[in-house]
Chains A and B, each alone.
Chain A
Amino acid sequence: MSRKEIKFLTPTTLVLLLLLGIGGAVGIYRLQNGLGSVTNLNNLWPWGLWISLDVLGGVAMAAGGFIIAGTVYVLNWKKYKPIVRPAILNAFFGYLVAAASIFFDIGQPFRVWHPIVMWQVHSVMFVVAIHVVLYSSTLALESSPMVFEKLGMGGAYRFVNRIMVPIVIFGVLLSVLHQSSLGAVFLILPTKLSPLWHNGLLPYHFLVSAVVMGLSMVSFEAVLSRRAFGHETDMGIMSGLARGSQIALGLYLLMKLWSLITGPGLGAAFAGDFAGNMYLLEMALGVLLPLALFSMAGFRSNLRGIFAANIVVIVGILLNRLNVGIFGLAGYASSLGADYFPSFGEFALTGAMVAFAVLGFKLSAMYLNLYPKAEH
């Protein structure tokens, strides 16, 4: 495997640094002047882009970490070992983005530590908060071998590797719980969230769609790494990920159809109203199209095709998070005369979060041994 020497100051990196700078300035302004100065959030639209995209989307994207780590360390499918480090790192940055977005979104950012000591166990938000703390720590531990290796800390490296299996199992538990609890957050809104999304299985929809998205993110990243760093991932791994995507998509489709038919009915999706159309778009991009593609013979060994399908899945599942967090609530809010569209500041901070994750990953690829030589 050859690897191009990775240059830091590329045009893309400059754009990312610019995004980081603008978003950072917006963030500081927000801390000094309050949410209203930077966002279009209001009493009838308390949550917007930052929660729906940065937090919900960021956490869904990070699911690849627990899936691959679980596959390698618990299922013992060593075939996927070469992608375990980038997958865990991807998850770590996903969580840092989600945590940072929460920090900027809450009204009192410097009280973000309160849920750790002030417990209210009936609140799903409390469950989410504790899990973010615990899982970020778990991811840090899972990522630490790369760092210890680089720093030459052999003792620490060996110790962490010895306890890696229990850590990974704990990470799988935490991931299952908080991916689903983010969906559970919306259970208490039966009169506000459109029945196209609100149903008793919503937490499990979030969990399965996170698996779908996680697999696509890992695969997507593998292809990007090939372009950016010249690192080739074994085609067997890519096909395996595609196969996993196909199975997860199939299960997700069944769940969505079940909830639709036993809930508002198939006709609700085709009602032609805003919510119905967004639902169809989400299903088309996030489920039907990629499922059809991944099910075609030969498609799962076509790298270009896999890359395209991954993008469609990622957009589709992010759209699902936007639907649950924003568009699915729009009907109710509009009926009260309420209005919301993200402000420039909201887009800017989101852009900075994306830039942070991408740059962070790039720096890690440059300075850590992300792709160790295969052991035999």
Chain B
Amino acid sequence: MRLLLLLAALLLGGAAGLDDDTRAAVLAHGPWPPALRADASNRVSGTAAGIALGQELFFDAGLSPDGRLACASCHAPGLGYADGRAVGQGRVALARNTIGLANVRFWRWFGWDGGEDTLWGQSLRPMLDPDEMAATPAHVAGRVRGSAVLSCRYRAAFGAVPAEDVAVVVGVAKALAAFQETLVTAPAPFDGFRDALARGDAAGMAAYPAAARRGLEIFFGAGQCAACHAGPLFSNREFGDTGVAYFLPGGGVDAGRAAGLARLRASAFGLLGAWNDDPAGSDTRASRHVVAQPRNFGEFRVPSLRGLAGTAPYQHNGSRADLAAMVDHYSDLDEERLHADGERILRPLRLDAGARRDLVAFLESLQGPLPPLPRLEPCVE
């Protein structure tokens, strides 16, 4: 008994080795997952029929006029719903890395530049983009009307297939969003540690790998990574400049958030537009108050550090091959490449080889599995 008490004291001492700030920060990065709330702007969010329609559509290459590209062509389930490429491949090589869809429901702004403020608005964009699926509302609506399965599921979700083509394609986008909202990763080893810390469970904390624990202390301590990678999603859901080049291969520049804000203002398919199913029930404060600033040029979203498994390479242009390369980027940061004048957020971490491995181990401990795809039951009317 004395030996057990001594062991417990030693373990608790190890856990208590977290200073108050680090302890508070760790606790603030959970619990996982956050509460799941339906998207009020999307009337089929969280509905079984909407999700089933969305899953059917997600894998349907018939949404593209030449039948070659489905959503799943670039967002492959086996690759974290990304594509494993540096940049996406639509009808042409695209400018940006394909973002994995894990935990996408928790975002406020969508895409690398945050050009959409709804998941259904973001789901609509690549369908109609001539460089991606290159569809038109008429084509998408025709596809739904001409397919017995799709039209059955559409009626199950929405009650009827509208006569207006744009209304049909917005419904398609909303169903796709409803399906993507189900892609939530399970708790990761970090969450086991975090929850054990919350309940004072020394044995639970001791189960966390030592290398990940050392990496955790770098992440929340000297690394100050949580300044941007904050909260349960490990992202503050905003944008920043991390010194990654924004020049495009064929010439020109990727304006990042600046371009996204311009697109947001011009889009009819968002929280402030007529297709929002419940404007009064939607939180539109961010969309109403966001403001364009000069530093937005070349800023890109702060990615979530969850759901990264299988989605390498990283950064908006896919220029970092893996997590080790990401850690190297921040450790050896070239401050001359930071283009947001005057900002002093990032500095090179100057980690040694062992600390870099520990930080990678911590990042790996944030990865939980995605749910398996359910088998769709036949649509019966």
| Physical interaction between A and B | no
Binding site for A on B (CB under 8 A): none
Binding site for B on A (CB under 8 A): none
